[in-house]
Amino acid sequence: MPPLTRSGVEAMDAGDPLAGVRARFALPAGVIYLDGNSLGALPVTTAERLGRVVEAWGRDLIGGWNLHDWIGWPRRVGDRIARLIGARPGEVIVADSTSVNVFKLLAAALDLKPGRRVILSERDNFPTDLHVAQGLTRLLNGTAELRTVEPAALPAALGPDVAVLMLTHVNYRTGAMHDMAALTAAAHAAGALVLWDLSHSAGAMPLALDAAGADLAVGGGYKFLNGGPGAPAYLFVAERWLDRIRSSLSGWMGHARPFDFDTAYEPAPGIERMLAGTPVVLALAALEAGVQTFDGVDLGLVRAKSVALGTLFRRLVAQECDGLGLRLVSPDPDRCGSQVCYAHPDGYAIMQALIAERVIGDFRAPDVLRFGFAPLYVRYADVLDAVLALRAILTTRSWDQPRFRTRALVT
């Protein structure tokens, strides 16, 4: 294959059907942002949108709940997210954090499958999903059990005692992507439910929860959905379960008539039953602005660009950084999410040196440099410039300084 050149890469940007979408974001000049898989960039509309909600709060005070239907926003923003994940309106609601939603849906799944006590997952699932499952099984005094296996062993581990298969669709550390339809079908054939964590998939590719027959799903608002730091999460319950599913965090916002102040809990008829407390209105406004950056955007093009950006990055790293100690840990592009990851024993310091050069990726312990490609705003030329910066840092060993070795709290 002929070597890649700057003009070749610029031609890719010139032919990019999503190039214009970058203008929907307020990106700082001179920064190459390859961490939108962790915290999405700021949409240009967010500040004004938040300002309007703050003004409405000041002017309308508590009347805003009815006047602006703030109470309905978890469902409204949930319906917008539904389009991105292949769900129907009424199957998705914005609530709480991903961790809390995992708790609610795992507890509900055990409840929906009486006589089955196992939560099955993979060993390298995102820690919070496993921690929440551990906490839940402890709460249930050993009447439920978390079982984790290697990914290849999942189908065989779907025994008659499994209530729910809990998986993250795209692995946070390697980008490895599960076959959602195949694993959902395997779980169903074994009589189990499936709970998908879409944190690293939603907004990076078309998803088809309903077509795959998925039962339950969760995902975060602050990654590819651009909802801002600490944005609320969402959860999905397939329509066929909505009349039966019960939340163990049965708060008043999940009640059929919260303002009756009835002390006996009666679940709301639809997806609202999975709410617990009062909607986070300001954060919902920012999340809605984030989700609207996808308005009119074809998710098939998003995936195509994601694969093209990742493939370009791999080819350029092979071309420019050969023999410099990087080991690819991501699977082939067709089985990978929107990130490419390399292991290096000095990965942390190398990433800090890159960030000092204004190329922002992140580091995942123990040794992984993670580069995320948010197709709405990353350019092909950014990929080239990032690899050239990486090569310079590796060849000069400029990363080898105490200031780059000091671990910050957030990596």
Residues that bind ligand PLP (CB under 6 A): 97-99, 126, 128-129, 168, 172, 197, 199-200, 220, 233
Residue 172 or 371 with smaller CB distance to ligand PLP = 172
Nearest approach, Cβ of residue 362 and ligand PLP (Å): 10
155, 186 Cβ separation under 8 angstroms: yes
**Which position among 24, 104, 223, 379 bears the catalytic label?**
223
Does 273 qualify as catalytic in the annotation? no
Per-residue tokens: 312: 């370009």
Amino acid, res. 103: F
Nearest approach, Cβ of residue 276 and ligand PLP (Å): 14
Amino acid, res. 118: V
34, 372 Cβ separation under 8 angstroms: yes
What 3-state class would DSSP assign to 326?
A: coil
Residue 162 or 218 with smaller CB distance to ligand PLP = 218
Kindly calculate the radius of gyration of the chain based on its CA atoms and give it in whole angstroms. Answer: 22
Q: Report d(CA 177, CA 195) in Å as an integer.
A: 15
C-alpha separations of 282 from 70, 172, 278, 355 in Å: 10, 28, 12, 30
**Which position among 197, 346, 362, 382 bears the catalytic label?**
197
Residue 172 or 399 with smaller CB distance to ligand PLP = 172
Q: What is the DSSP string of 211-250?
A: HHT--EEEE-SSSTT---TT---EEEE-GGGTTT---SS-
Residue 1 or 408 with smaller CB distance to ligand PLP = 408
Residue 43 or 175 with smaller CB distance to ligand PLP = 175
Amino acid, res. 164: V
Residue 72 or 127 with smaller CB distance to ligand PLP = 127
Per-residue tokens: 112: 């929906």
* Closest listed residue to residue 139, CA positions, set 167, 107, 101, 114: 107
Nearest approach, Cβ of residue 195 and ligand PLP (Å): 11
126, 197 Cβ separation under 8 angstroms: yes
Does 197 qualify as catalytic in the annotation? yes
Residue 169 or 255 with smaller CB distance to ligand PLP = 169
Q: Can you say how many angstroms the Cα of residue 310 is from the centroid of all Cα atoms in its chain?
A: 18
Nearest approach, Cβ of residue 223 and ligand PLP (Å): 7
**Which position among 103, 222, 371, 377 bears the catalytic label?**
222
* CA atoms 22, 26, 31, 35: torsion sign: negative
* Tokens 């204004």 -> residue: 358
Nearest approach, Cβ of residue 339 and ligand PLP (Å): 11
Does 370 qualify as catalytic in the annotation? yes
Does 96 qualify as catalytic in the annotation? no
Does 294 qualify as catalytic in the annotation? no
Cα-based angle 173, 20, 391 (whole degrees, multiple of 5): 45
Where do runs of H (alpha helix) occur along 16-147? 46-60, 64-67, 73-85, 98-112, 127-139
Amino acid, res. 377: Y
Nearest approach, Cβ of residue 347 and ligand PLP (Å): 18
**Which position among 25, 33, 126, 313 bears the catalytic label?**
126
**Which position among 103, 370, 371, 382 bears the catalytic label?**
370
Nearest approach, Cβ of residue 220 and ligand PLP (Å): 5
Q: Torsions phi, psi of 308, nearest 5?
A: -65, -40
Which positions are annotated as active-site residues?
126, 197, 222-223, 370
